Structure 1
Amino acid sequence: MNLDYFISSLPALLPEQPSAITLEEFRAACTEHLSGSLLAAVEALLDDQPSTHPFITAWRRHETGLRNAIARRRAARLGTDARPWIRPDGLDETETARGVAAAFEQPDPLQRERALDRIRWKAAEELQGIQPLTARVLLAYAIKLRLLARRQKLDAATGRQRLETLATLPAAGGGSQE
């Protein structure tokens, strides 16, 4: 199948909206219509596996930079040194740091994660470029679809349930303090 046609046949993805295609359906469609290095790159993105593809390298540099900015922000909140958590090869962008600072101003962890995902979404769009039907667009689509799939798993009810589960676990150390 022609790449232009394949990309055109995919449902549109909108930030913070449920997707009309699942990761599994997208993977199956890619397996059916793609081959070679492009299929390998899509699979590497979907499975978070190593790849030397230039798009994936750029994406991972952005993600490392974002995670470094998150580590710096958390360390500042805790009054500790962030260096043990900083990873090399990340982009060090002022705009990303500002976005992380704004995300950490959100009133709850769910809203913070959504704000961080908006930074990721924007980065994927920047990496895809302005040409409409290219391999870069398909790779950005894979990233966006992963973000949406992750977002669907994050909701307040699930978060409360996990918190309640954690709250009922015995304290570390296991013994009573009598």
Structure 2
Amino acid sequence: MSCFYLIASLPSVTLGQPLPMTPDAFKALCQDQLGLRDQQAVGVLCDGPDFGETAARSTHPFVVRWQARETQLRNAVARMRAARHKGDAAGAIRSHTGFDTAIEDGVEEAFTRSNPLEREEALDQLRWRILDELAGVDPFATSVVMAYAVKLRLAQRWAAHDEGVAMGRVEKAISIPGFEGASPAI
């Protein structure tokens, strides 16, 4: 099925900016524009960061390639964390196909950040670059739709880091009766 119209109509998505649509709305948009196999892949990619068994059973080429890259990235993160705490990452390492030195270098660079939030942002920017690579050079390929699905999910996670929402949660928590050390001024 052709996805020219779908891709041409997609609003841009950027980390740290308001979401142009939710992953569920994107999945619904794809239903009329993609074949069943591609719809299922979009569903897997939109549904969550850990993929779970659904992705493990997926044979869609994009899902397989993305899962391999994400697994390599998570393995590199596990090794870096283990090295920082003088531990062993062997129990956290998962097998994956292929090897991309840019992922290893990107994770190493992210771990130069002392602030955990900045480190997480650097890791998601690395994921974004990986997705751009996986999308390929054809601007109307189905892989562009697949990459968009994951980018939308990443952007959704960062959109949830709203400072106003966070302050509201803190204020609500400290106003709970019996909360020790509650202070009216923040």
**The two structures share one fold, judged by TM-score above 0.5:** yes
Q: Which amino acid aligns with 2:67?
A: R
Partner of 1:54: 61
Whether the 8 Å CA contact 1:125–1:140 is kept in 2: the answer is: yes
Give CA deviations for 1:38-76 in whole Å, capped at 9, x if unaligned. 111111111233211011100000000000000000000
* TM-score normalised by the chain length of structure 2: 0.79
DSSP-derived class of the 1:33 partner: coil
Distance in 1, matches of 2:66 and 2:15, equals: 18
1:111 corresponds to which residue?
118
Q: Tell me which residue corresponds to 1:81.
A: 88
Deviations 1:78-97 (A, max 9, x none): 00111111111154433212
- Residue 159 to residue 35, structure 1, CA distance change in 2 (3 Å): farther
Gaps of at least 5 residues in structure 2 are 177-186
CA distance in 2, matches of 1:100, 1:125: 17
Corresponding residue for residue 104 of structure 2? 97
Q: Please give the alpha-carbon distance, in whole angstroms, between the structure 1 residues aligned to 2:69 and 2:75.
A: 10
SS at match of 2:64: helix
- SS where residue 158 of structure 2 aligns? helix
The amino acid of 2:106's aligned partner reads G
Please tell me whether the aligned partners of residues 78 and 89 of structure 2 are also in contact (alpha carbons under 8 angstroms). Answer: yes
Deviation at 1:150, TM superposition (A): 1.1
Contact 2:19 2:159 in 1 (8 A): no
Displaced runs of 4+ in structure 1, greater than 6 A? none
Residue 32 of structure 1 deviates from its aligned partner by 3.4
- What is aligned with 1:42? 42
How far is the alpha carbon of 1:31 from its aligned partner? 2.1
Match for residue 144 of structure 2 among 137, 143, 149: 137
Pairwise CA RMSD of aligned residues?
2.4
TM-score, normalised to structure 1's length?
A: 0.82
Note if contact 2:136-2:144 (Cα within 8 Å) is conserved in structure 1: yes
CA gap of 1:109–1:23, structure 2 versus 1, over 3 A, is same
Distance 1:25-1:119 versus aligned 2 partners, 3 A rule = same
Structure 1 unaligned regions, length at least 5: 169-178
Q: 1:159 to 1:70 in 2, by over 3 A?
A: farther
